Amino acid sequence: MSDPHRFGVVALAGPPNAGKSTLLNRIIGEKISIISRRPQTTRHRILGIKTLPGAQLVFVDTPGLHRSSRMLNRAMNRAALGGVEDADLVIFMIDVRGWTPEVEELFRRAAPKDTPVILAINKTDRLSDRERLLPLIKQSAAMHDFAAIIPISALKDKNMDAFLEAVIGAVPQGAPGFPADQRTDRSQRFFAAELVREQSLKQLGHELPHESAVEVTSFEYTDDKLLRVGVTIWVAKASQKSIVIGRGGQQLKVIGERARKQMERAFGARVYLDAWVKVKKGWADNAAMLQKLGYMED
Ligand SMILES: Nc1nc2c(ncn2[C@@H]2O[C@H](COP(=O)(O)OP(=O)(O)OP(=O)(O)O)[C@@H](O)[C@H]2O)c(=O)[nH]1
Ligand SMILES: [Mg+2]
């Protein structure tokens, strides 16, 4: 007799920058969630659906948990903790640098009482000496009764088979909840905004204010092969607007061009992208703006 089919919702939680979105994209095999070197890259809950012969795993990428009093950040933490609450299994991800008091505190906040947790220790490619993993694994095992502790490199594709096997073993039996060919719950329109945000993060690095967001103002296929996208990049101050636009519009041009190419690849269509930068003072503390930008669900 073959094993019963498994189905589970698996939340990816942890501090910002641990590599949660990199892991999601690695598992799904395509870019579902944007990635950058900056912490707090992911701002929404994003599903990545992995359908295997005997199991369907619904991974929930969440914003990295962090402390901040801004309304935007509180909404991000709520999205992250909400993702954890509804899960059958939680992957808590740290990197090989290990636990800091802050990460431990986030873990205590996020660790659900009755839900199994797998600890993923990411970025093992950064370790010159693998021996150093052992003390970290021991320390972690003493902290919590993890369902498994698995060192991985999401970026370099290391130990991913063992990781997936552990995940499959830890989710309940059940029939698939999504069609086999569905990979995410997010629309192309959402992804278009994210790709512009990703290129802004990449292009501007630490110069880019945390208070920037992307709104898609129009999204229209004129035919099967041609897509017109209009976006507004919102910032909180006039000085930030000049940073995003750059001298002679150079920065915005590069951001737009790279995001456009990414969209063409993702959507398989030619894309015309029209990007504007606008200022809305204090938008990250403005409930109406957060709602409009999709950061607050109700
Ligand atoms: N060396 C190394 N870098 C990695 C690995 N996984 C992710 N990274 C890098 O770590 C940075 C953060 O990756 P993300 O996937 O955006 O991290 P995240 O946990 O989703 O971050 P937030 O969305 O901000 O919470 C990026 O520069 C990745 O390329 C890894 O296995 N090894
Ligand atoms: Mg992320």
**Residue 278 tokens, joined:** 């606008």
Nearest Cα residue to atom 8 of ligand 1: 19
- Three-state DSSP class for 277? strand
Beta carbon of 122 within 6 Å of any ligand 1 atom = yes
| Residue 71 and residue 111 in contact, taking contact as beta carbons nearer than 8 Å | no
d(CA 131, CA 179): 43
The closest alpha carbon to 163, from 10, 6, 1, belongs to 10
pLDDT at 223: 87
Structure tokens at 71: 């309304």
Quote the pLDDT of residue 253: 97
208, 255 in Cβ contact below 8 A? no
Q: Which helix (H) or strand (E) holds 287?
A: helix 287-292
Q: Which atom of ligand 1 is nearest to the CA of 25?
A: 15
- Residue of 27, 35, 40 to test ligand 1 pocket, by largest number of atoms within 8 Å of CB: 35
Q: How far, in Å, is the centroid of ligand 2 from the Cα of 216?
A: 20
Nearest CA to ligand 1 atom 14: 19
C-alpha 100/C-alpha 202 separation (Å) is 27
What confidence score (pLDDT) does residue 19 get?
98
Contact status, residue 98 vs residue 136, Cβ threshold 8 Å: yes
Return the closest-CA partner of residue 190 out of 27, 13, 42, 38: 42
Judge whether 57 and 170 are in contact, CB under 8 Å: no
Ligand 1, residue 39: give the atom nearest the CA.
Answer: 24
Q: State the pairing for strand pair 6-13/55-61.
A: parallel
Alpha carbon 53 to its chain centroid, in Å, reads 26
Q: Please tell me the distance from the alpha carbon of residue 245 to that of residue 215, in angstroms, as a whole number.
A: 16
CA distance 255 to 272: 13
CA distance 160 to 6: 19
Along the chain (298 residues), what's the average pLDDT of each consecutive run of 10 residues?
88 96 97 94 95 96 90 91 91 96 93 93 93 94 97 98 97 97 96 96 82 94 93 94 95 97 96 97 91 82
- Which residue spans within the chain are E strands per DSSP? 6-13, 46-51, 55-61, 89-95, 117-122, 148-151, 212-223, 226-235, 270-279
Q: Is the CB of 24 under 6 A from ligand 1?
A: no
| pLDDT on residue 298 | 54
- Identify the pLDDT of residue 83: 85
DSSP 126-161: G-S-GGGHHHHHHHHHHHS--SEEEE-BTTTTBSHH
Q: How far is the CA of 34 from the centre of ligand 1 (A)?
A: 10
Distance from the CA of 4 to the center of ligand 2, in angstroms?
32
Give the residues across from 149 on adjacent strands: 119
Q: How far is CA 29 from the centre of its chain?
A: 14
In the chain, the domains with their CATH numbers are: 6-170 (3.40.50.300), 188-292 (3.30.300.20)
Fill in the amino acid letter for 126: R
Whether the predicted model's global pTM rises above the 0.85 cut: yes
Answer whether 202 contacts ligand 1 (Cβ < 6 A).
no
Cα of 129 from ligand 1 centre, angstroms: 20
The reply to whether ligand 1 has any atom less than 6 angstroms from the CB of 21 is yes
CA angle 56, 8, 183 (to 5 degrees): 45
Classify burial at 7, counting beta carbons within 10 Å of its beta carbon; exposed 0-12, middle 13-18, buried 19 or more: middle
> What CA–CA distance (Å, rounded) separates 86 from 75?
17
Q: Please provide the distance, in angstroms rounded to a whole number, between the alpha carbons at the two ends of the chain.
A: 46
